[in-house]
Amino acid sequence: MKMKKYILYFLLGALVSGCGENNPSHVLEDVIKENPQLGEVLKRYEADTLKLRAVEFLIENLPYYCSYEGEQVEHYQKQFELYGTGLYTPGEVQDSIRKMYGRINLRKSTVKPDLELPADFLIDNIEWAFKVWNEQPWGKNVSFADFCEYILPYRIEDEPLKPWREKVYNAFNPILDSVRALPEAQDPLFVSRVLIDSISRIKFHFTGQFGEGPHIGPDLVDWHSGNCRETADMLIYIFRALGIPCGCDYMPLRGDGNVAHFWNFILDKNGESYYMYETGMLEPVRKYWGIKSKIYRQTFSRNEAVVRNMRKDAEAVYPSFRFPHFIDVTRLYSGKHARMLNIPREKLFHKLPEDEVVYLCSPAWMDWEPIAWAHPGENDVSFSDVEGGVVLQLSVYKHGRLIPVSDPFVLDGSTGGVHYFEGSDETEEIKLLNK
């Protein structure tokens, strides 16, 4: 499913590739040729500078988004709806779905590009986003840039699209009525703590047994079930519907845990980040616990600096870095523990050209997963802002697979030293005991 998604992103991205990284007007022109309705949206807001800039922001980035729809997606989502009732175990839910519909095959789902987005859907989203930004007292302390990234977007990633702002606003905005007139309510952090106190009383039915598929969408606000990704998505819909800048930070791999991990952040009146762990607390990101390696922040906009610096065609880039909707926030979390990792060229298996993309990989269930990238330098390959304590390895991506170019190693989080796990010709007898 993941590979299929990024292949689609490549096909859609071909529309705007080569238009000039610093000339968004070319992107707008090409998108509007594909969907003339979007040109009408631009005309609608010609006299409103901020709304026009917001529309342009959305349209420039929508070629990289799509929905997965159809019966198979509905069956996949039905698992979350049933489990959210609290009446069944995950196994009972899966058995029931299998008996009713057969085995879920998400490869049979329909892909619907956001290039086909209807004008009224975009207009409704823009009007509601600006309504909450302008009417809420904390909105005066949310910058336009943060508004665009963390309040304005009409979607999270690849969920089926439906209007959600008005319904979620009406359900949760009354929670803040008692504090809205307080001076402290000008700080998004203050109202976030009030809001999360109420939301934390809702039982979230947690499970990771339903497999990997498209994002579920705003129905999570009613179903409140799934894993850490679904928890983060649910809170994003609620907070953004109320004009609070909220998003998702994540680890491609959770330290040495072999799986990804997702959680929420909000921004206070000074733009400082606070992490929200599931539905229980809001703390400065420096207090985040555990081994982190690399942490990224999801954005709606594509990280053009990464695209430029990689200097590779999309299909030659590892899928999760192909159209990067993220920024690196490891240093926000790790502070002085975010180190520069330098791997000397002599530690590489063979010489690499200077334009090669080298991936820093972490182990994931008998495989490796890239968590960062760099080009080889004259003397070494350097990765900025890496926290130690995790087994890592360098690889390159060729013909759809990762190829190791170094031995595994560990970055010592205390000293910054690197220990390599190098093979040898010596043999050792071991006894494996298994029940």
Beta strands in 336-379 (DSSP E): 339-344, 358-363, 368-374
Instruction: Reduce the secondary structure of 148-169 to three states and give it as a string.
Output: HHHCCCCCCCCCCCCCCHHHHH
- Whether 330 is in a domain gets the answer no
Rounded Cα distance, 153 and 146, in Å: 11
Cα distances from 30 to residues 26, 38, 41, 308, in angstroms, run 6, 11, 15, 20
Kindly state whether residues 176 and 108 are assigned to the same domain. yes
Helix (H) or strand (E) holding 34: helix 24-34
DSSP-assigned beta bridge partners for residue 250: 262, 296
Kindly state whether residues 145 and 262 are assigned to the same domain. yes
Q: What is the pTM of this model?
A: 0.91
Q: At what angle do helices 49-61 and 119-135 cross, to 10 degrees?
A: 130
Domain end (from 301, 324, 357):
301
- Whether 329 is in a domain gets the answer no
Rounded Cα distance, 33 and 39, in Å: 9
Domain end (from 284, 301, 318):
301
Kindly state whether residues 215 and 263 are assigned to the same domain. yes
Residue type at position 329: V
Cβ-based burial of 287 (10 A; exposed 0-12, middle 13-18, buried ≥19): exposed
pLDDT tens for the chain, 435 residues long, are 343 443 344 344 444 443 334 455 678 888 899 999 999 999 999 999 999 999 999 999 999 999 999 999 999 999 999 999 999 999 999 999 999 999 999 999 999 999 999 999 999 999 999 999 999 999 999 999 999 999 999 999 999 999 999 999 999 999 999 999 999 999 999 999 999 999 999 999 999 999 899 999 999 999 999 999 999 999 999 999 999 999 999 999 987 777 899 999 999 999 999 998 765 689 999 998 878 889 999 999 999 999 999 988 888 999 999 989 999 999 999 998 899 999 999 999 999 999 999 999 999 888 899 999 999 999 999 999 999 888 999 999 999 999 999 999 999 878 889 999 988 888 888 888 876
Q: What does residue 194 show for φ and ψ, rounded to 5 degrees? A: -65, -45
- Whether 412 is in a domain gets the answer yes
Q: Is 376:350 a contact under the CB 8 Å cutoff? A: no
DSSP-assigned beta bridge partners for residue 246: 266
Rounded Cα distance, 28 and 25, in Å: 5
Provide Rg for the chain, Cα atoms: 23
Cβ-based burial of 331 (10 A; exposed 0-12, middle 13-18, buried ≥19): middle
> 386 is written with which tokens?
């890496």
Q: What does the angle CA 243 – CA 160 – CA 170 come to, to the nearest 5 degrees? A: 35
- Whether 369 is in a domain gets the answer yes
- Whether 349 is in a domain gets the answer yes
Kindly state whether residues 352 and 290 are assigned to the same domain. no
- Whether 324 is in a domain gets the answer no
Cβ-based burial of 431 (10 A; exposed 0-12, middle 13-18, buried ≥19): exposed
- Whether 142 is in a domain gets the answer yes
pLDDT of residue 11: 42
Kindly state whether residues 250 and 354 are assigned to the same domain. no
- Whether 410 is in a domain gets the answer yes
Kindly state whether residues 80 and 180 are assigned to the same domain. yes
Kindly state whether residues 98 and 199 are assigned to the same domain. yes
Burial 75-107 (b: 16+ CB within 10 A, else e): bbbbbbbbbbeeebebeebbeebeeeeeebebe
Kindly state whether residues 166 and 230 are assigned to the same domain. yes
Domain that holds residue 47: 2-301
pLDDT of residue 4: 41
pLDDT of residue 427: 86
Count of structural domains, the chain: 2
Kindly state whether residues 272 and 228 are assigned to the same domain. yes
Kindly state whether residues 394 and 247 are assigned to the same domain. no
pLDDT of residue 24: 58
pLDDT of residue 10: 38
pLDDT of residue 110: 93
Domain end (from 301, 328, 357):
301
Residue 334: Cβ within 10 Å count: 22
Kindly state whether residues 264 and 115 are assigned to the same domain. yes
Kindly state whether residues 59 and 129 are assigned to the same domain. yes
